[in-house]
């Protein structure tokens, strides 16, 4: 009869054939095992990638034989520290090869560029990487012995090593015969720095402290450009020491930032005064509007010792998520690298090439009493040939 409910199905009635949906019978419950399913071939499965995070690397290197720190796109004949570093990052598996070709993809940033031949004991770079196991050891295994990653730390996602850096400390290592008066033999290796001369050197270096217009200490900067004004926090010369029978001294300079060749010219003018080629009054004139011929000391002895992140450390260093970027635990490794790779390179190269002795012979050609306005300085560069911010 129409509308009458269907009666119960007899027990012995044949059951309908079960349909399968995605390998599970229709009547099967979700928590019941429907039996083994076909697996994809192993080759089709992608291994899960490690997490990608922003980190900083504490980097030390001997700059001899390199054309500076920064990678020169399209100029592969000029090898840089970053060329070797990026290659090691790719080979260690923490960045894809495409990021090695375009460093912006990994948000790469260095604290400071260093020029040709300049070394570093405490350079810091920030970048995004895959946090693979034993990352620091893997990167170092693909680097030459004169380039080392000394430390690795996690930082905030928006961290930029250049913008977050409060100050940079450089040192300049030179043979002390560079301080000898001009009437003495410029190659006298028996010369020893007297306490009186050291005190005078430190008195002159103290004049650099504070804010000054350093337009005469770089190229392509005018006296009216605000970026020519730089703040020097400290400048002094340490006690001399001997290496292989030759006496050396270390000049340390700490500043917020430096322009191209600024520290080398600061050292160059200091030596010209101490040796008697220029009067002490030339320091004040060098910060004035007139163009002055300031000599540039050799690049061999210049080393980026460390970079500072005081403001970042105050805000994030003790938040329970991030470590302070003070590198206290890595200080011993940086000192050991300096003694093993940087100091010996400076001493050996000075003995072989006599770069300081030869440069001292050029000081008499500089005219420290006249303005060079309208004339080309020996250190003048072609515009655009080198950037002039936060570098030396």
Would you name the residues annotated as active-site residues? Answer: 115
Query: Of the candidates 31, 353, 55, which has an alpha carbon nearest to the alpha carbon of residue 175?
Result: 353
| DSSP of 261-323 | THHHHHHHHHHHHHTTSS-TTHHHHHTSSS-B------STTEEEEEEE-HHHHHHHTTSSSS-
Helices then strands, each counted (H, E), the chain:
10, 12
Q: Do the Cβ atoms of 177 and 186 come closer than 8 Å?
A: yes
Query: How far is residue 182's CA from residue 200's CA, in Å, rounded to a whole number?
Result: 16
How many alpha carbons fall within 13 Å on the CB side of residue 200? 15
Q: What whole-number distance in Å separates Cα of residue 206 and Cα of residue 229?
A: 17
110 vs 124: CA distance, rounded Å: 6
DSSP string, 31-47: TS-----PPPPGGGPPP
Q: Give the angle subtended at the CA of 181 by the CAs of 179 and 187, to the nearest 5°.
A: 70
Nearest-angstrom CA–CA distance, 82 and 149? 12
């Amino acid at each position: 009869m129409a509308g009458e409910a269907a009666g119960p199905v007899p027990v012995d009635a044949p059951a309908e054939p079960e349909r399968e949906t995605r390998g599970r019978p229709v009547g099967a419950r979700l928590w019941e095992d429907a039996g083994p399913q076909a697996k994809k071939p192993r080759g089709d499965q992608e291994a899960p990638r490690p997490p990608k995070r922003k980190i900083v690397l504490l980097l030390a290197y001997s700059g001899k034989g390199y054309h500076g720190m920064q990678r020169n796109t399209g100029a592969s004949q000029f090898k840089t520290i970053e060329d070797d570093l990026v290659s090691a990052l790719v080979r260690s598996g923490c960045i894809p090869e495409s990021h090695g070709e375009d460093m912006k993809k990994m948000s790469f940033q260095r604290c400071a560029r260093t020029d040709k031949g300049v070394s570093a004991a405490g350079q810091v770079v920030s970048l995004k990487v895959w946090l693979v196991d034993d990352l620091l050891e893997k990167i170092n295994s693909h680097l030459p012995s004169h380039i080392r990653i000394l430390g690795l730390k996690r930082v905030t996602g928006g961290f930029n090593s250049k913008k977050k850096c409060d100050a940079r400390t450089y040192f300049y290592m030179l043979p002390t015969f560079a301080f000898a008066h001009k009437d003495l033999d410029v190659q006298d290796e028996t010369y020893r720095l007297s306490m009186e001369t050291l005190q005078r050197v430190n008195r002159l270096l103290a004049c650099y402290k504070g804010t000054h217009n350093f337009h005469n200490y770089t190229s392509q900067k005018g006296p009216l450009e605000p970026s020519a004004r730089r703040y020097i926090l400290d400048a002094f010369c340490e006690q001399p020491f001997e290496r292989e029978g030759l006496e050396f001294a270390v000049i340390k300079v700490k500043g917020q930032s430096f322009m191209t060749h600024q520290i080398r010219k600061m050292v160059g003018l200091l030596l010209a005064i101490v040796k008697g080629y220029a009067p002490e009054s030339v320091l004040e004139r060098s910060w004035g509007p007139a163009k002055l011929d300031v000599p540039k000391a050799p690049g061999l002895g210049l080393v980026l010792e460390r970079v500072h992140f005081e403001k970042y450390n105050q805000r994030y260093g003790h938040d329970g998520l991030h470590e302070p970027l003070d590198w206290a635990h890595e200080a011993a490794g940086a000192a050991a690298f300096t003694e093993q790779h940087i100091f010996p390179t400076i001493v050996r190269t000075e003995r072989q090439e006599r770069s300081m002795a030869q440069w001292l012979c050029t000081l008499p050609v500089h005219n420290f009493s006249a303005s060079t306005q309208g004339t080309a300085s020996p250190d003048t560069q072609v515009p655009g040939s080198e950037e002039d911010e936060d570098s030396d």
